[in-house]
A and B are shown apart, each in its own frame.
Chain A
Amino acid sequence: MSTVVAQHRRNLLIGALAASVFLIFPTASTAIDRSVVAHNGMVVAGHPLAVESGIRALRAGGTACDAAIATAATLSVMMPDMMGPAGAGFALLWDAKSKQLSAIDYDGVAPKATSAAQYTLDKKVRGFWAATVPASLKGWEAVHKKCGKLKWADLWTDAIGYAENGRPLDFDSALHIRRHIPELGIYEGWSKEFLVNGEALPQGALQVRKNLAATYRQFAKSGSKALYGGPVGDKLVAYMQKNGGLISKEDLLAYKVIWRTPIETTYRGVKVFGVPPPSASITWMEMLNVLEGYDLKALKHNSPEYLTTMLETIKHTYMDSYRWVSDPAFVSIPAQMLLSKDYAGQIRQKIQQGRFDMKTVKQATLDLPSKTATSHMDIVDKWGNAVSMTNTNGNFWGAGVVIEGTGLLLSNGMDWFDIDENVWTGEKPGNLVMVPGKRNRWTLAPGMLFKEGKLFMVVGGAGAESTMYGIAQPIVNVVDFGMDAFAAVSSPRVQWGDTYHYTGGTEVHLQPGIPEDVRQKMAASGYNVVALGKQRNLAAGTTNMIVVDQASGSLFGAAARNGRDFVSGY
């Protein structure tokens, strides 16, 4: 064989070997990106059929704000366990033309007749005293007025159709009805609305809600007036009076949404924005400030050192959350201090001194089958406008109260107030105590990130106390580790405590995918690492994300993989 041929064959062999290694072990630049990619518009939200409503609004020439309303309205029919017009929420709105970012607070408020002395734990969790004054409908209307183009009434078409003709029950929706029967079956309104002859409908069945359809027709026609001072509101008040509830006509008429200035920080040169308290955006933003002081890449993603850093950061920032995330009309919240780089440095010093012994709360709380009923949506339209919106009913099925004749479920925002003592800080009363007219703390925490003035990321999530660290970790995954949106939200996370507010605990949950040797090292180092399969609650944040490719402007979207969430674009 000639030397040239032998050399050529050797080169071919080397090339083939290199290619096979390359295929077996793809580098970061060739990792498979399963994000959904679109260019003209994208919606990531809690249910596929709600996402479809949002996309239809975008295709019809609507803005991101129109799509948000259409998505929210349909979502409230698909996921009444999670959110609805009588619930609460927060949103960030980005106007690409004016380069204005707005934050809207449509949190519920404690009714005027609230008296903390008369509350017990069970009264604030379910039933007529658990409900805060409805807020979401007014919030959605305010968003539409600010930046919608399509007719308000048209945005309710899908929702009305599903309520009137039936929405098909997916597995989760059917399950969440059935599993709540032991607890909510004692509430007549809930049973009549969601059960048929006392039983839950199976997956695939059509759930028809005529009362809700009629109510939504009124909302479509008259807007929030139908509820605040109108016929639907009259039914709410009458039902409250009949059942000893607290919400009055005066409460409804007095309710106002609040436009707030977004809070701001930076993370590795990226501008980060959130909604001020009583939203909990400040908590994950504070986390980022602390984490910025570490070389997370050097620690390596999900190594014991990385996870330890994340856990200790969570503990410190969550203590601030429990102390300060309250209504600024009632509490002087040191937001600037909490978001300062100096303060982040102080926390890092504390972390360096040793593990934070975050006390387990001593207040007994009632069990619920599930403790988080929230849904987040991210939307970007063809003009580059964006909405980051989170809506909630509080716990699954909120107060468990359906207003007679309306199909509307009330939230249980009262459960997110303290009765007297702040169980985390021991302050008595603490900043979270219930007071008439006060807005309650939530873990809702919408966010937007910008690079050099251009929209970079729309992000947010759900999952009670897991929401905030469930948002911070995917952001770090993108910014520090260069992950795409899909990988960022899918990558296994660390979870602290049991995610329910007021219980906490000291458990550390490491999601499947974190190597066993890392789990063992974390346990050996003293953390209470719960064995796989033994976790009591798998929630580590139901986080949705859209990343805007800065070069092409294309949208890369990913939906949380642990819920009913879905992403689509066009």
Chain B
Amino acid sequence: MRNRGSIFVLALSLFIPLNVAGQDVRFKAELPVLVTSSGQSLDAFTVKTLLTRAGVANEYKNLAKVSDLDKVKTLVVAFGASVKGFGAAGITIDTELARTRDLLAAARQKKIRVIGVHIGGAERRGGLSKDIVEMVAPASEWLIVWEDGNGDGYFSKLAAEKKIPLTLLKQPMETGKVLAATFGKK
């Protein structure tokens, strides 16, 4: 009984919900980290750039597959669908959802920590983004969200319901520093 209680307290301490960027980050992530996109927006490129600038080595593959997860310890998924849509290179919303689903399932199975990053703001919420958001957000172990995309409180409510740590950013450019802190970089 005592062991179970200790385990419970330990587990709880790792999932303290966050409300303000950078404070009380208890989420510990490890390298190597893979940055990918769900929805094919350029937000993933931004996240990768910010992470690199913050001194965190990372691999970036906007169309990461399950086979790319070998040796990865942390998966950063920048999610939100593009306005232009897909069409090119055989990418459709369905293929993107399928790829994302497979990736998240494999990450779960391999015990890879998943960080969901939504910095596209309100523009990356509705339309094609809706299905992407509803797939990735609940499957994330930590959500980093530009507050512009949380105007309806969706992420706040989800984080509270699912007990997912949530960092709301005042500015999307804070992503790099926030992520870097969890890798032990200041």
Q: Interface of A with B (CB < 8 Å)?
A: 122, 178-179, 181-183, 185-186, 191, 198-199, 360-371, 498, 500, 502-505, 507, 534, 536-537
Contact = CB atoms under 8 A, between A and B. Distances in A.
Contact of B170 (A199, A364, A498): A199
A243 to B, nearest CB: 14
B43 A182 contact: yes
B90 A362 contact: yes
Interface centre among B43, B119, B171 (most CB of A within 10 A): B171
B178 interface: no
Interface in B44-66: 45-46, 49-50, 53
A212 B128 CA distance: 38
B125 to A, nearest CB: 12
Contact of B84 (A122, A183, A500): A500
Interface string B127-153: 110000000000000000010100000
Contacts of B120: 182
A367 B173 contact: no
A456 to B, nearest CB: 36
A122 B53 CA distance: 18
B171 A199 contact: yes
Interface of B: 40-43, 45-46, 49-50, 53, 82-85, 87-91, 119-121, 123, 127-128, 146, 148, 170-173
A366 B42 contact: yes
B9 to A, nearest CB: 38
Most chain B beta-carbon neighbours within 10 Å: one of A199, A360, A536 = A536
Contact of A503 (B43, B46, B84, B173): B84
A181 B173 contact: yes
B171 A365 contact: no
| Chain A at the B interface: SS class | loop
Nearest to B48: A186
Given A361-B87, A502-B88, 14 more contacts: A178-B121, A181-B171, A199-B171, A360-B88, A364-B88, A364-B91, A367-B42, A368-B83, A368-B84, A500-B84, A503-B84, A504-B87, A505-B85, A537-B83
A367 B87 contact: no
Nearest to A497: B87
Given A199-B170, A366-B42, A182 B87 contact: no
Nearest to A179: B123
A505 B87 contact: yes
Contacts of A363: 88-89
B169 to A, nearest CB: 10
A122 B49 CA distance: 13
Contacts of B121: 178-179, 181-182
30 contacts: A178-B121, A178-B148, A181-B173, A185-B46, A185-B173, A186-B50, A186-B53, A186-B173, A191-B173, A198-B173, A199-B170, A361-B87, A362-B90, A363-B88, A366-B45, A367-B82, A368-B42, A368-B82, A369-B123, A370-B83, A498-B85, A498-B87, A502-B88, A503-B84, A504-B87, A505-B87, A536-B83, A536-B85, A536-B127, A537-B83
Contacts of A534: 127
B84 A360 contact: no
Contacts of B123: 179, 369
B84 A371 contact: yes
Contacts of A186: 46, 49-50, 53, 173
A198 B171 contact: yes
Nearest to A184: B46
B83 A503 contact: no
Given A363-B89, A498-B87, A536-B128, A183 B43 contact: yes
Nearest to A464: B84
A364 B85 CA distance: 11
A502 B171 CA distance: 32
B171 A185 contact: yes
Contacts of A365: 84, 88
